[in-house]
Structures are given as structure tokens and as C-alpha cells.
Amino acid sequence: MKIFGDVEKQSLKTPSNADGGFVLVLALVVLAVFASLVTLIISGSSSTARLARLAEDEAHERALLQAAAVRSFYGLMAEDTFEPLTFDPETMDDQWSFDSRTVRIIFEPEAGKADLNAADSRIIDTFLSDTALPAEIVSIVGRRIAEARADRASERPSISSVMAMLPFCARLGVVATVMEQRFTVFTRSRGIDPQAMPVDRLRRLPFIGDAEYRILTTPGPAHRLPLDDRRLRHLREVLSDPQPIYTLRLTPEAGGIERVISVQLTVDRPHVRVISDRQVVRAGGDLCED
């Protein structure tokens, strides 16, 4: 007598090889996606950290340049007996340290540069040919200056900056620095101050002969200006008296940002009026192609 009914034997069904391969591939895909997400998160965090460090370094560099600018202004306004700025007579620069960082301060009297709007064309031509820049750049700049000066229809200056005369590719490199060391738009003077320019550049001017050169380079009374000498009367149109306009170039010892500030000392000294203030990133070389 059967107490229990027939029980059908059931066997466990094992997965086929195809099903097992699908599961393995799916697991690998999930792991790959997860790994990609982890990598993305880590790289994103690293990029954010790098950007934060760069922003912090840039802020420190700008603060250093601001401190150097204030220090330079004070040096122009008053004599500092505690830490005087002593500019080298040949290079017109000095080193100033602050918070374990060093800034090079270059002092450029604008009166020793040729004003692109007002200077005698002979001065401009001499300074331009004396730059030792590529002939193509000199040609482009010379043509732009000549065209701008010829288009003047009023007393207002037609050239707003030295940079405006340069090709875009030459505004961040050596060409820009060389041009700004020889030309200006701030003095509005037909002539130049012979005491505010390098003597080798003075000697190359076509209207400076041996006799004039000896007079200008021979030390005289401190209170006497070159134009006070009656032997130089014939140069009054091309030589000028000193002007209290200066450009300060502030460059950190290790950094790509340069601050260029042009200032004018007012009559009621010791006040300084800022004419132009900009920060530029100087490229290691010029970007113009040969």
C-alpha cells in the first residue's frame, strides 16, 4: 500500500557555459564602470587641488607686486634712510626683498624715450633702427608709426600706446620690452632728455656730433641743465629738459607676471599720479613666426 504518491525525481539545473560567460562579462563591465568613476573622481579632485594651488600662487605673486609697487612709490616720494632704493647707474635697476621673495625693480625715465606722437622723426628713426629687432618687425612698426603720425587731424595724440604699434604676436615677448624701453606716449615732447638715456644711444643720434657729445657727457654743476649751455642752443628743438615721468617695471625673481607702472611726480611733491598700470604675462620668447 502506497502511503505517499509517486514523487518525481527532480534534478538541479546547472547553468550552461554561455550563461556563465555572460555573467562574467557583466561583472567585468560593472567593475570597469566603477573603476572609471573612481578615477574620474580622483582626477577631478587632483585637478581642483592643482587649480587651487595655482590660484593661491598667483594671488601671492600679485600681492608681492603690489607691495613692491608701494615700496617703489615711497622711494620716489621720499628718501628712505632705513632701506633706500639704490639704482645701478648702468642698468637702472635694484633688487628688493619681501617675505623671502625678491623683486627686480627697473626704473625708466620717460624723458629719455622718444614720444611716438610728438618726437622729432629723426629720433624715432634712430631709436627704431637701433633696436636690433628682426627687419620685418622694424618695417611693420615703422610703417604703423608713420601712418599714425600722418593721419593726425587734431591736437589729440593718435597713438595711445607703444603696444598699439606692434603686431599681436610681438606684444608679450622681447620685442615689447625693447620697444617700451625706447619709446613712450606720455611726455608729449619733441625732444629727449640727454641725461635720461644711455650714452651709447645718445651718441647714435644724427644731430649729436663729437663736440655736442663731449659737452653732454662731461659732468657739470648739479643744478645746471644741458640746455642751459649756450653751445647747445642749436639743439633746443631736439633736446628737452627733464620731466618727472617714470616707468617702473616690477618682476618677481621667479614668476611670469610683470607689473608695469608709469607715474608722474606732481608739482606738490611727494604726491605720485599713476598714468598707466598694467600686469602682463611675459612669454619666454616671441610668438611671431619667421
Q: Are 113 and 183 in contact (CB under 8 A)?
A: yes
Q: Specify whether the CB–CB gap between 75 and 160 falls below 8 A.
A: no
Is 196 part of a structural domain of the chain? yes
Question: What pLDDT does 290 receive?
Answer: 44
Under a CB-based contact definition with an 8 Å cutoff, are residues 276 and 261 in contact? yes
Q: Yes or no: say if 46 and 36 are a contact pair by the CB < 8 Å rule.
A: no
Per-residue burial over 45-54, b = 16 or more CB atoms within 10 Å of its CB, e = otherwise: eeeeeeeeee
- The whole-angstrom separation of Cα 85 and Cα 246 is 15
pLDDT of residue 145: 92
Whether 11 shows a pLDDT value over 80: the answer reads no
Residue 225 is assigned to a structural domain of this protein: yes
Q: Quick one: pLDDT at residue 182? A: 93
Q: Strand runs (DSSP E) across 82-213, as ranges? A: 93-98, 101-109, 114-115, 183-184
Residue 201: domain span: 75-281
* 101 found inside a domain: yes
- Split into its structural domains, the chain has a count of 1
Q: Is residue 288 part of a domain?
A: no
Nearest to 110 by CA among 276, 222, 228: 276
CB count in 10 Å sphere of residue 272: 18
pLDDT for the residue 117: 92
Euclidean distance between CA atoms 243 and 229, whole angstroms: 18
Using CA atoms, how far residue 246 sits from 47, 88, 92, 159, 242, in Å, is 42, 16, 12, 19, 11
Is 69 inside a domain boundary?
no
Q: How far apart are CA 110 and CA 176, in angstroms?
A: 16
Residue 12 pLDDT > 50, yes or no? no
Residue 1 lies inside a defined structural domain of this protein: no
Most confident of 15-24, 123-132, 148-157, 219-228: 123-132
pLDDT computed for residue 155 by the predictor: 58
pLDDT band at residue 122 using 50, 70 and 90 as cut-offs: very high
Residue 31 lies in a domain: no
More confident residue, 91 or 103: 103
On whether residue 26 sits in a domain, the answer given is no
